[in-house]
A and B are shown apart, each in its own frame.
Chain A
Amino acid sequence: MSSIRRSLPLLVCLLLGCVLLALYAPGGALRRDEPPPQQAGRSPYDLAGSIEDAQNRLRGHPDDAAAWAGLGFLYLEQARRTADGAYHAKARGAFERSMRLPTGDGEPYIDAVIGMGALANAGHDFAGAVRWAERAREAAPYRWPLYGVLIDAHLELGQYQQAESTLRHMLDGRPDFASFTRAARLERVHGRPGPARELLHRACEIAGDPAEYAFCQGQLGDLAWHTGDPRAALTAYAEALAADPGHVPSQAGRARAQAALGHVHQARRGYASLVARAPSFVVEYGELLEHLGDRAGARRQYAVFTAQHKLLAAAGNADHLAMGTYEADHGDPDTAVRHLRAEWKRRQSIEVADALGWALHRAGRHAEAATYAARAERLGGHHALFAYHRGEIEQALGHTASARAHLTRALSLNPHFSPAGAARARELLAATA
C-alpha cells in the first residue's frame, strides 16, 4: 500500500514537471538547437518539378488561363534546354488553351499571346512572332517580356533599326537579364565586343538561376571565341557547364575550343556525346572529322544532317539557311543558292546575306556573290568566317589586294574560325605574298 502512496506523488510530480517544462521551457528545452530546415518545396530551378506542379494545379483548375500560359512557358523552356521539339507542340497546346479561356475584358490572356510569339520565334516563323508581339503590345504595352520576343524576331529578320529602338525602349523600362543579354547581342552585331562583354558580365551578375547563368557564361565564351581567345572561351564554357551541365551550346563551344587548342581527342569525345543529344551540331562535327582525315565518319554525320532536314521539310518546316549553308560547303552549290534565295526573300539578315554570297561564289557567280558579301559586312557582321568568305570572293574576282586584306582580317579576328577555312586562308595569303 505504502508503495502506491509513494508512487502516486511521483506521478503527480511527473505531470507537474510536464506542465512546468511546457510553461517555462520555450527559452530552453523547447527551443530547437538547429536552424529550421528548408521547406520541402520546389527549388525554382527544378524545371521538371515546376512542370509537374503546374500540371497538378491545372488538373484541379482547368480554367486557369494564367496557369496554362505559365505551363506553356515551362514547356518552351524545356524544349530549349533539351532541344526536344515535342515540347513545342505541348507549349502550343497550352498557350492555345489559355487563349481560349475567357478573361475579364474579353481579350485573351496576355502572357499566352506573348508565349505564342516566343513559340513562333522558336519555330523560325519570325514574321509571325512580330505579329504576336505587336498584338501583345497593343493590349499591354508594359508587359516587358513581349519586347524580348519582338527584338529577337527583328534581329533574325535583319531589321536592325527596329531591333535597336525596341531594345532602347526595353532597357529604359526594364533593365534586366533579358534586356542586357539582347543588348549584348546587338553590340556584337555592330562589332563592339568590349561593350558586349561588359553587358554580359552585368547580366551574369543578376542571373536569376543556373540556367540563366549558364546562358550568359556561354555567351561570354562565344564572344571570347569569336575574338580569337579559345582559352578564355574554354574557361567561360566550363563555368557555364558547372552551373548547368546540360547546357548544349556550351558543350559545343567547349568541343570547338578544345579542337582549336589541339585537344583533338577531347573535342571528338565531346562532339560525339553532344550529337547523340542534339543533332544540330553534326555538320560542325563532320567538318572536324573531315579535317582530321576521317572521311567516312564525316559522311555519317552529314547523312544525319540530311535526314534531319528531310524530316523538317516533311513537317513543312524547312530550315533554308541551315540547308543552304550545308549544301554550299558539302553538297550542290546550285541547290544552296535556291535555298538561300528563298530565305533571302523572307529575311535580309547578316547571316543570310553571307550564306547567300558564299553559295553564289561556290556556284561560280562571283560578281553577284560580292554584292551580298559586301552587304553582309555593311550590315555589321564582324565575323571571321564572313571576312574569310569575302576574301575568297575577292580573290576569285582577281582583287588580290582586297582579298589579302579580308583574309588577314579574318585571321586576326579569330585564327581558329574553322579548321579547314583558317588553313585555306593562310595558304592563300602565303601564295599571294
Chain B
Amino acid sequence: MITPLVSPLVSPLVSAALAAHPLGNFSVNHYDGLTIHRDRIEHVAIVDSAEIPTLQETVRGSVDAHARRACARLRDTVEGTVEGRPLAWRVTETSFAYQAGAAGLRTSRLTCRLSAPLRVDRPLTLTFANAHRAGTVGWREITARGDGVRLSASSVPAHSVSGELRDYPADLLRSPLDVRQARVTVEPGTGDAGTSVTVPGVDIVTRYTALLADRLNTLVGADRLTVPLGMLALFLSLLLGAVHAAMPGHGKTVMAAYLAGRDRRLRDTVAVAATVTATHTAGVLVLGVLVTLTASFTGEAVLSWLGVASGLIIALIGVGLLRSARRRDSTPGHGHDHGHGHGHGHGHGHGHGHGHGRRSGGVVALAVAGGLVPSPSALVVLLGAVALGRTVFGVMTVVCYGLGMALTLLTAALALRKLGDLALLGRLQRLRPYSATMTATLVLLVGTGVTLRAVAALV
C-alpha cells in the first residue's frame, strides 16, 4: 500500500503543462539524433527550453553568437566513444530561435549539428551520453540510425516518438522519456538492427529448445537444489543435448549418414558417440574457463572459429572418403570390412592408428568435429551454475548434455542403417556400389557448407 502524502508540508505551487511541454514550463528537453555514416557520425542536438529556463538563460549579443556559444557548451558535455576511444566532435551548424509560449512568455529551441570522423570498416561499438544540463527536469530522448551502414544492435530506437521535440505524446500510462545514454553496434552493410534471418521450420524447434533451456537455467539457479530437482535438471540437459544434436548444422547429422553408409558394428558407433560427448564436454569446459577468467574474451568469436575448424575437418574427411570410395570402386571386393573394424578400435582406444588407421582416424576426427562447437545453451547453463557456486553440478549438466547429443547420433545412425537395409533390398540394390561415393559427397558438401557459414559469421 502506498502512503498518500508522506510529507505534511504543502509544496510550493508548480504550474502544470500549459503549452506543449510535457514537464511543465520550467523543463529543458533534449533530443539527440545520431546518424552513423561510413566515414562519420552526425549528431543533431535539439534543446527545447520551456518558458522559465528560456528566461533564465540570458542571451547576450546576437542570437547567432548565442547559438554558437551554447552549442560549444553542449559539445563539451556530450560524450561519444568508439571502441572505448573518445570521438572528436566538431560543431558544424547552429541555430537558436524563440517561440511564443504561455502567458505572453517565450520558449526557445536550440539546434546544434555536430559531426565526428569515424571509419566503419568492421563491427564497432559506439557509446553516447549527453550530460548537458543534467540537473534539469525534462524529456530526454536519443535515436540512432545508420546511413550506408548497418546497426546490428542499438539500445535506442531509430525514430523519435516526439517528432524531435515538437509533439510530446500525452498518455496516462507513459512517463516522459529520460534516456541519457545510448549504445550502438554498427557494421558495414545496409539494413536495420535485428534483421537476422530466421528459417521458419527451425523456428518452432528453437522456441521449444529455448523454453527447455530456460527451465534448466531456473532449475540450476533454484534456491534449494533437492535430489529430484537435480535429477530433473540432469534429465533436461540430456534432452536438450539430444534436441541440439538433431538440429541442422554443426556437422553432427553428417555423422549419422557416415555411420549408416558403412557397415559398422554397434560398438564402433558407441565409441563415436563417446568421442562426441567427450569433445563437447571438454570444449564447453575450456570455453567456460576462458570466459570466466578473462573478461575481454569474446565467446562469439571463438565459437565462430571453432565452427570453421569443425567444418574444415568434416570437409577434409569428405575428401578422404571420396578418395577411398574411388579406390574401392576400382578394386571391388577388397577385404575392407575386416580391416576396418580392427583399425578403428585401436585408433580410438590408443589415440593413434596403425594399418588402416586412416579410416578410423576419420571416424574419430568426425566425432571430434561433431562435438567441437560447444552449444551456447550448455555454456550458459555452465556459467550460470559457476556463478551460483555450483560448479560441479554445472559440469555434470554439461556431461549429460554431451550424452544427450551422443544418444541422438546413435539413434539416427541405427535408424538410418535399418532404413538402408530395407531400401537396399528393393530396387535401390543397384545403387549399392555408389553408396560410398554418395556418402562421401554428402559429407564433403556438408563440411563445405558448415565452413562457409562459420566464415560468413566471422566476417
Residues of A within 8 A of B (CB): 1-8, 10-11, 14-15, 18-19, 21-23, 25-26, 29-34, 36-37, 48, 51-52, 55, 58-59, 70-71, 73-74, 76-77, 79-80, 82-86, 88-90, 93-94, 97, 111, 114-115, 118, 121-124, 145-146, 148-149, 151-152, 155-156, 177-178, 181-182, 185, 208, 211-212, 215, 219, 249, 273, 275-280, 300, 303-304, 307-308, 310-315, 317, 319, 322
Q: Which of B28-54 contact A (CB under 8 A)?
A: 51-53
- Distance to closest chain B CB from A237 (angstroms): 15
B168 CB → nearest A CB, Å: 10
Within 8 A of A (CB), among B159-190: 172-176, 178
Residues of A within 8 A of B176 (CB): 86
Q: Which chain A residues border B227 with CB–CB below 8 Å?
A: 22-23, 26
Please give the distance in Å from B142's CB to the nearest CB on chain A: 17
Q: Considering the chains assembled together, what is the distance between the CA atoms of A215 and B17 in angstroms?
A: 26
With contacts A310-B103, A322-B12 taken as known, whether A22 is within 8 angstroms of B231 at the C-beta atoms is yes
Give the most central of A30, A34, A314: most B CB within 10 Å. A30
B23 to A48, Cβ gap below 8 A? no
Given the complex, which residues of A lie within 8 Å of B268, measured CB to CB?
A: 4
Residue contact A181 to B388, C-beta cutoff 8 Å: no
Interface contact A25-B5, CB-CB below 8 Å: no
Query: Which residues in B have their C-beta under 8 angstroms from that of A177?
Result: 3, 6
Q: Which single residue of chain B is at the shortest CB-CB distance from A222?
A: B9
- How many contacts A-B (CB < 8 Å)? 230
Residue from the set A18, A121, A303 with the largest chain B CB neighbour count within 10 Å: A18
Which bracket fits the contact residues of B?
35 or more
Q: Which residue of B lies closest to A274 (CB)?
A: B135
C-alpha spacing A278/B24, complex, angstroms: 11
Q: Mark B49-89, 1 if CB is under 8 A from A, else 0.
A: 00111011010000000000000000000000000000000
Contact B13 A319 (CB under 8 A): yes
Contact B14–A280 (Cβ < 8 Å):
yes
Considering the complex of A and B, which 6 residue pairs feature the smallest CB-CB distances, nearest first?
A: A3-B349, A33-B389, A280-B12, A314-B103, A85-B14, A29-B392
Given contacts A29-B393, A304-B55, A310-B103, whether A152 and B8 have CB atoms under 8 Å apart is yes
Nearest residue (CB) in B for A96 is B172
Contacts from B to A (Cβ < 8 Å): 2-18, 21-27, 51-53, 55-56, 58, 102-105, 133, 135-137, 172-176, 178, 223, 225-227, 230-231, 234, 267-268, 270-271, 274, 341-342, 345-346, 348-350, 388-390, 392-393, 396, 399-400, 403
Residues of B within 8 A of A275 (CB): 56
Nearest to A319 among chain B residues (CB) is B13
A148 x B393 contact (CB < 8 A)? no
- Tell me which of B8, B234, B271 has the highest count of chain A C-beta atoms within 10 A of its own C-beta: B8
Q: Is the CB of B18 within 8 A of A8?
A: no
User: Residue on B with the closest CB to A74?
Assistant: B2
Q: How far is the CB of B28 from chain A (nearest CB, A)?
A: 8
With A88-B16, A122-B11 as known contacts, state yes or no: A307 contacts B399, CB within 8 Å.
Answer: no
B326 CB to nearest A CB, Å: 29
B297 → A minimal CB distance (Å): 23
- Chain B: CB-nearest residue to A111: B4
Provide the main secondary structure of the chain A interface: helix
Given A15-B403, A319-B12: 18 more A-B contacts, CB < 8 Å? A22-B227, A26-B226, A30-B225, A30-B392, A59-B173, A70-B2, A86-B176, A88-B14, A97-B172, A115-B4, A121-B5, A152-B8, A249-B9, A277-B137, A280-B11, A300-B56, A304-B55, A315-B102
Is the pair A34, B399 in contact by a Cβ cutoff of 8 Å? Answer: no
Cα(A146)–Cα(B3), bound, Å: 10
Contacts of A178 in B (CB 8 A): 3, 5-6, 8
A276:B4 contact, CB within 8 angstroms = no
Contact, CB under 8 Å: A273 / B135? yes
List the B side residues contacting A307 at CB < 8 Å.
51-52, 55, 103, 105
Q: 7 A-B residue contacts at CB 8 Å? A: A4-B349, A86-B17, A86-B27, A114-B4, A149-B4, A219-B9, A311-B51
- Residues of chain B contacted by A76 (CB below 8 angstroms): 4-5
A308 CA to B25 CA, complexed, in Å: 8
Let me know if A300 and B8 touch, CB within 8 A: no
Instruction: Tell me which residues across on chain B come within 8 A of A300, comparing CB atoms.
Output: 56, 58
In the bound assembly, the distance between CA atoms of A88 and B227 in angstroms comes to 54
- Whether the pair B23, A84 counts as a contact (CB closer than 8 A) is yes
Q: How far is the CA of A114 from the CA of B175 in the complex (A)?
A: 23
CB-based contact A311/B105 at 8 Å: yes
Chain B CB count within 10 A is highest, among A23, A71, A93, A307, for A307
| A77 in contact with B6 given A4-B271, A22-B231 (CB within 8 Å) | yes
State whether A182 touches B8 (Cβ < 8 A): yes
Chain B residues near A219: list those with CB within 8 A.
9
A124 partner residues in chain B, CB cutoff 8 A:
10, 13
Q: Smallest Cβ distance from B52 to chain A, in angstroms?
A: 5
Q: Which residues of B contact A304 (CB under 8 A)?
A: 52, 55-56
- Please state if A84 and B14 are interface contacts (CB–CB under 8 Å): yes
Q: How far is the CA of A178 from the CA of B5 in the complex (A)?
A: 8
What is the CA–CA distance of A344 and B356 in the complex, to the nearest angstrom?
Answer: 109
Given contacts A86-B176, A280-B14, contact A26 B271 (CB under 8 A): no
CB-CB under 8 A from B16, the residues of chain A are 85-86, 88-89, 315, 317
Q: Are B230 and A30 in contact (CB under 8 A)?
A: yes
Known: A114-B4, A148-B5, A181-B7. A31 touches B225 (CB 8 A): yes
The residues of B that contact A122 with a CB separation of less than 8 Å are: 10-11
Q: A15-B403, A317-B13 are in contact. Are A148 and B4 (CB under 8 A)?
A: yes
Pick the residue among B10, B18, B133, B345 that contacts A4 (CB under 8 A): B345
Specify which of A1, A33, A314 is in contact with B342 (CB 8 Å cutoff): A1
Q: Bound state CA distance, A115 and B5, in angstroms?
A: 9
A207 to B317, CA, bound (A): 72
The reply to whether B270 and A8 contact each other, CB–CB distance below 8 Å, is: yes
**Is the beta-carbon distance between B388 and A32 smaller than 8 angstroms?**
yes
A276 to B26, CA, bound (A): 8
